[in-house]
Chains A and B, each alone.
Chain A
Amino acid sequence: MPVSRKEAGKKFFLSRYLSLGHRLTGDESTRQAIRVNTLKTTDDEITETLTSLGVNLSKVPYLDHGYTVEASGFSLGASIEYLLGLFSLQESASQYAAQTLAPSAGDTVLDMCAAPGGKTTQIAAYMGNRGLMYAVDHDRDRLYALENNLERCGVENCLVYHGDATRLEHGTMFSKVLLDAPCSGNYVTDQSWFRRRSIEDVNRNAETQRELLSAAVKILEPGGVLLYATCSLEPEENELNIEWLLSNHAVALESIEGPGENGLTQVFDRRLDAEVSKCHRFWPDTTHTQGFFLAKVVRL
């Protein structure tokens, strides 16, 4: 019997993950999570309101304002509180990126591939709507979703540009940059992932990501921090890109604490620079989130 594209893809990628140290089944899942919008409310106020409406929430211990939705009798994205921007729907691992970047009111921040804006609104919340943030995306249609999110969440310190993040010419240097790079994604949040993805996609994305990484470093102030994030489990888009960055730019890595594991230093038959272990990985089998990768890069 012929093997379907999905089955072949699943077998191929799961065997890769196994050789990277994780015996995944391909059926791992993540729970819906919310992030409290501290620009408009407090954790206590919104969790009390949602609990009174029958929503069962539990605090995610490693997140500043993140809660897992254990049960809800209605769609949270169609509630008055959501429309008022009191919270956002944002997966737990994804919330860890802006939290790790830790922007503050004194920063000038760039969100390079910003749409649809979940992390942009989170950055604004950390900045208390002060300082200045630029958000850029090349996809005009996705920018409408970003604009809606900024409006809904009451973000007031952001300039949004339609453009290519590899060709920024604003003359501004940034103290913090978030590069949540376009990537291959992962099967936890996409049921058709094994059918749709191939190693060619992964390699193509990795090349684009290196262009974005180079562009990001060039507009970072000396001592400034670049947070690189993907929701891919593939080392080509993660550790191998970061090793390439260390070899080609004057940068260093800072360690990232938290759930999950250090970055890989043995990728298939290749030994990587030990510095790459300062990166951070969320593996779906151990963190019960989507796959996620973070690297905190400092420009020297």
Chain B
Amino acid sequence: MRLLRRFLNQVGSKLEAEAFMIDSKRFTLSQEMERHGFSRENLVYAGTYLGRNRRRFEPGSPLLQMLASEEKTRKVHLDREAAWLFVCGRDIFEENIRRVEGNLELGGHYLVMFEGRCIGYGRFETSAGIHVIRNLFDLGDFLRRED
């Protein structure tokens, strides 16, 4: 839970999700699923995927979409061209950010948004004297996982 909580704090989320664990993966279950009861033997996935612990917490797409709908989370919005580069694993130059929700501060973590949906997150940094959103996770990971 520590890595998950740290990630939620970083992007300004107040979400309090009960995490159900399968190996390094974190899920949350609906009341309906909890009520039903089920065997954990050979279970590999359950309910809503929040993410998994690696060196840092790697959020899942369902968690990112939950955070996207939270008003208080910090967000940067991109146009299609920049969004495409981001899901290809690239960092985003400050000049390509179309809109910011919250203050843009060096060292701050931001959800990266495209047309109202979250495509990943990153940290605002200086790289070779240029301000960028450093890509920490993006949805292009779905394609990279299958390679």
Contacts and interface: CB of A to CB of B under 8 A. Distances in A.
Interface of A: 77-78, 80, 83-85, 108, 130-132, 143-148, 150-152, 154, 156-163, 170, 172
A83 B43 contact: no
Contacts of A163: 42
Interface in B95-147: 114, 117, 119, 139-140, 142-143, 145-146
Interface string B21-53: 000000000101100101100111111110000
A131 B30 CA distance: 10
B62 A151 contact: yes
Contact of B80 (A80, A161, A162, A172): A80
B32 A154 contact: no
The 6 A-B pairs of least Cβ separation, nearest first, read A160-B45, A83-B139, A156-B48, A151-B49, A162-B42, A161-B42
7 contacts: A83-B119, A84-B61, A84-B119, A108-B36, A132-B32, A159-B45, A162-B42
A147 B45 CA distance: 7
A158 B32 contact: no
Interface of chain B, main secondary structure: mixed
A172 B33 CA distance: 13
Nearest to B143: A78
Given A132-B33, A163-B42, A170-B38, A80 B114 contact: yes
A77 B139 CA distance: 12
A49 B30 CA distance: 32
Contact of A157 (B30, B42, B80): B30
A131 B47 CA distance: 11
A160 B117 contact: no
B39 A170 contact: yes
B67 interface: no
Contacts of B117: 84
Contacts, number: 81
B36 A156 contact: no
Given A152-B142, A154-B62, A154-B65, A80 B43 contact: no
What is the predominant secondary structure among interface residues of chain A facing chain B? mixed
A80 B47 contact: no
Contacts of A143: 44-45
Nearest to A140: B44
A146 B44 CA distance: 10
Nearest to A116: B146
B83 A85 contact: no
A130 B32 contact: yes
A145 B44 CA distance: 12
B12 interface: no
B139 to A, nearest CB: 4
A130 B32 CA distance: 8
Given A80-B87, A84-B119, A159-B33, A150 B142 contact: no
A160 B47 contact: no
Nearest to B28: A156
Nearest to A146: B45
Contacts of A83: 87, 119, 139-140, 142-143
Nearest to A150: B45
Nearest to A105: B32
A219 B101 CA distance: 51
Contacts of A160: 43-46
Contacts of A148: 142, 145-146
A154 B49 CA distance: 8
Given A80-B84, A80-B114, A160-B43, A152 B48 contact: no
Contacts of B65: 154
A85 to B, nearest CB: 7
Contact of B30 (A77, A84, A150, A156): A156
Contact of B44 (A77, A78, A152, A161): A161
Q: Counting chain B CB atoms within 10 Å of each CB, which of A80, A130, A162, A172 scores highest?
A: A80
Contacts of A146: 45
